[in-house]
Amino acid sequence: MSVPQQQFDGFRLDFPATLDDARNAVRSVIEWLADQQILPDECQQWELVLAEAANNAVIYAPHAQSLLTVRIEAALSAHDIEVRITDHTSGFDWPDHVELPEDDECDHGRGLFIISSLTDHVSYLRGKGHNVLCLKSQRKSIPKPQEDTEATLELMTAEVASCYETLANIFRLIADAGNDVEPVALASRWLEELRELAGADFLVLRMAGTEAGRLPIVGGVPSAIAWEPLLELRNNDAVETRAAVTRQDQWFDESTTFATADPLRKAGEHISGLSHPLESGGDLAGVLTVGVFKPRWEPSARELNVVRSLGDFLGALLHGLHRRDEANQSRLMKRELQIAADIQRSLLPAELPQTPFVHCAAHLATVGEVGGDYLDAILLPDSSLLFVVADVMGKGVPAALFATAFHSLLHSHLDLASQPSRLMRRLNKAMFAELDRADMFITAQLVHISADGLTLQVCGAGHAPLLLSGGSQIQEVCADGPPLGVTADADYQDFSVSLASYTHVLLHTDGLSDVVSGGGILSRDELHTWLRGVAAAASDAGTSRDSLHRLHRSAVDAASQQDDATFMIITRGAQTLTANTQNSLSHAKG
């Protein structure tokens, strides 16, 4: 058996197979771990493990051990410490179950027991001529890097520039689509643009066709490669198919074994890149594959953002064009409105996330084909949640375009989700120039709720107050900074609220309480009365959403609705999800 050798990026030392050299080698490893800010108790634990492992590698070496060497390697990741010891002994069979020997004089068994007990993972690869002992444990603590202010500012500047560049390209793409260009010609032109922006060598765009289970090619560059015209989704071994089926990015490089029928084989042997699924309105729209003629592709954050953001928008746009052509819609304003409506719907989550402690349901009603209201609910990696409600001034295509830009920028900066005011400032800075040029603004409200459902932080930008109730009282939180697009250096503040005494939270746009121009049929008092009632009745999120929808609908029936109306209900507590909550987002068009 040949034991594979894998390059380690970290510590490496070859030492003669003697006990003295083994002790010195172990000390060198421990000193290196200490230099990497590994805590003293972890270092002591590893010193005991490595002393046993290194001694075994020396003790069982052949008699001519002075001519042999032992290799010890150590590497760190964000969460683990891994050490490998390679020896040239005859090796031994590692037992399936390592137990402490009953005989106190049996050193061999006791050493294996110490190694297995003090590490999370042990594997022993016995080969012809050499053996590899792999040891791995999770780091007990990860030191926080010292913040480099200058580097942070440079990174923020680069992020803003990247988002602005993506936004500018989106507007250029929209302008191109308005010039009555055929979808295939539009795709070919923008694939070349995207290849240059992403620093890639080749791109392939496949869009979901009229036949289910098939992804016909829309465009591929360079055209010299004979790209496969049609990809069957039942071809489960293809990289692009996995991206389409799993709805997740699929990376490939020199280590990827491509199936015989994988269309990417036509790009060459030494390629690397990414297959990115495209979605529209919760449906698969297509797959965009980007790559280079190199064994490994390491795109910058800017290049990756371009691939995902501009690729998503191009996919949604082409998907909208395809649906338009199938329905034989008009070639003028109605076409543009339909494209904008498809794009707007693609921004809405198919379902809102639910956790054991926080449930939510929402409703969005638009006036006409396209509206300017936006909502989102995002489950973050630490199980906390970010809730977003926004209202772009006006309606129609301009409002939908700015809602699209808002969505793209929001999802590009989710690292700031736990600090809504910082996130709001970032959004305002990135969108101010375009909003100011169009003489438009956006009101928004960002709400972050901790994973345990006990703490809420809210930041507002010219938005309606946040309402909270536990059944007996109402609290209004007027976290009211200026709307986005009013001033470039606007300041925003976070307001924290303990949810211990509240069970229901309401976010809404002004269209909910201002259903008739100059009116206000759902007054402040009526909203307060309704919220106290559902909180006192311990109604779940879906039931609460439906009751407010009926109340709003009755007001609209008695008047003429002039504005989009969006609202989101958040409930806290260990409640059972009902059918209404599972169908968490409803939508209506006026």
Q: Among the ranges 176-185, 377-386, 404-413, which has the highest mean pLDDT value?
A: 377-386
Question: Which sequence spans correspond to the domains of the chain?
Answer: 11-138, 152-334, 349-589
SS3 state of residue 276: strand
Q: Give pLDDT, residue 551.
A: 87
Tokens in use for 536? 């006192």
Closest CA to 390 of 316, 432, 335, 444: 444
516 has pLDDT over 50: no
pLDDT at site 184: 72
CB 422 within 8 A of CB 493: no
CATH homologous superfamily of domain 152-334? GAF domain (3.30.450.40)
What is the per-residue pLDDT across 56-105, written as a single tens digit (0 to 9) for each?
888 876 655 556 789 999 999 888 999 999 988 877 778 877 777 766 55
**How far is the first Cα of the chain from the last one, in angstroms, to the nearest whole number?**
71
- Three state DSSP letters for 235-255: CCCCHHHHHHHHCCCEEECCC
Q: What percent of the chain has pLDDT over 90?
A: 37
pLDDT of residue 512: 79
Higher pLDDT, 185 or 538: 538
At residue 269's C-alpha, the angle toward residues 268 and 274, to 5°, is 75
- Which pLDDT tens digit goes with each residue over 531-547? 999 999 999 999 999 99
The chain-wide mean pLDDT, for the chain, equals 82
Q: What value does the mean pLDDT take over residues 371-382?
A: 89
**Tens-place pLDDT, residues 115-127:** 888 899 998 888 8
For residue 167, give the nearest of 438, 488, 493, 572 by alpha carbon: 438
- Domain 349-589 bears CATH identifier 3.40.50.10490: no
CA dist 26 and 47 (Å) reads 7
Q: Is 476 exposed, middle or buried (0-12, 13-18, 19+ CB in 10 A)?
A: exposed
Lowest mean pLDDT among 215-219, 250-254, 378-382, 387-391: 215-219
- Local confidence band at 1 (pLDDT 50, 70, 90 cut-offs): very low
Q: Which residues of 70-85 are buried (b: 16+ CB within 10 A; e: fewer)?
A: bbbbbbbeeeebbbbb
Cα angle 538-582-537, degrees, rounded to a multiple of 5: 10
Residue 34 pLDDT > 80: yes
The Cα 219–Cα 205 span in angstroms is 5
Query: What does the pLDDT read at residue 340?
Result: 64
Domain boundaries 11-138, corresponding CATH code: 3.30.565.10
| pLDDT the model gives residue 4 | 44
Determine the pLDDT at residue 273.
Answer: 93
Instruction: Name the nearest CA neighbour of 361 among 183, 249, 505.
Output: 505
Phi, psi of 576 (to 5 degrees): -80, 130
∠ CA(158), CA(390), CA(543), 5° rounding? 135
Q: pLDDT higher for 397 or 38? A: 38
Q: Which of 1-5, 139-143, 283-287, 373-377 has the lowest mean pLDDT?
A: 1-5
Dist. CA 209–CA 148, nearest whole Å: 49
Whether 587 has a pLDDT exceeding 70, the answer reads no
Structure-block tokens of residue 146: 């010292």
Report the run of H or E that residue 278 belongs to, with start and end: strand 272-280
* pLDDT at residue number 317: 78
SS (H, E, C) 509-576: CHHHCCCCCCCCCCCHHHHHHHHHHHHHCCCCHHHHHHHHHHHHHHHHHCCCCCCCEEEEEEEECCCC
Largest CA distance in the chain: 99
Residue 520: pLDDT band (50, 70, 90) is: very low
**pLDDT for 292 beyond 90:** yes
Nearest by Cα to 393 from 423, 373, 363, 375: 373
- What pLDDT shows up at residue 31? 93
Question: How far is CA 350 from each of CA 13, 124, 275, 360, 534, rounded to the nearest angstrom?
Answer: 54, 47, 22, 13, 25
Residue 396 CB contacts under 8 Å (≥ 6 apart), including other chains: 337, 340, 368, 369, 370
- pLDDT score at 266: 87
pLDDT at 199: 86
Q: What is the pLDDT of residue 32?
A: 93
State if pTM tops 0.85: no
Residue 189 is predicted with a pLDDT of 79
Integer CA distances (angstroms), 483 to 6, 96, 382, 413, in order: 55, 65, 29, 19
pLDDT tens column, 399-457: 878 888 899 899 999 999 999 999 999 999 999 999 999 899 999 999 999 999 999 99
pLDDT at 157 over 90: no
Going by pLDDT thresholds of 50, 70 and 90, the confidence category of residue 177 is low
Range with the poorest average pLDDT among 33-37, 65-69, 218-222, 267-271: 65-69
pLDDT for the residue 217: 87
* pLDDT for res 148: 62
* pLDDT band, residue 519 (cuts 50/70/90): very low
538, 539, 540, 543 alpha-carbon torsion, rounded to 10°:
180
Instruction: Compare 179 and 247 and report the one with higher pLDDT.
Output: 247
Tokens of 537: 């009745």
Tell me, what amino acid is at 97?
H
In this structure, is the dihedral angle defined by the CA atoms of residues 63, 66, 67 and 68, taken in order, positive or negative? positive
pLDDT of residue 137: 92
Prior bond to 222 cis, omega within 30?
yes
For the CA atoms of the chain, what is the radius of gyration? 30
Strongest mean pLDDT among 173-187, 189-203, 272-286, 445-459? 445-459
What letter would DSSP give residue 67? Answer: G
pLDDT tens per residue across span 293-340: 999 988 887 788 878 887 788 777 777 776 666 555 445 556 666 666
- Angle, in degrees to the nearest 10, between helices 301-326 and 149-177: 20
The confidence band for 2, taking pLDDT boundaries of 50, 70 and 90, is: very low
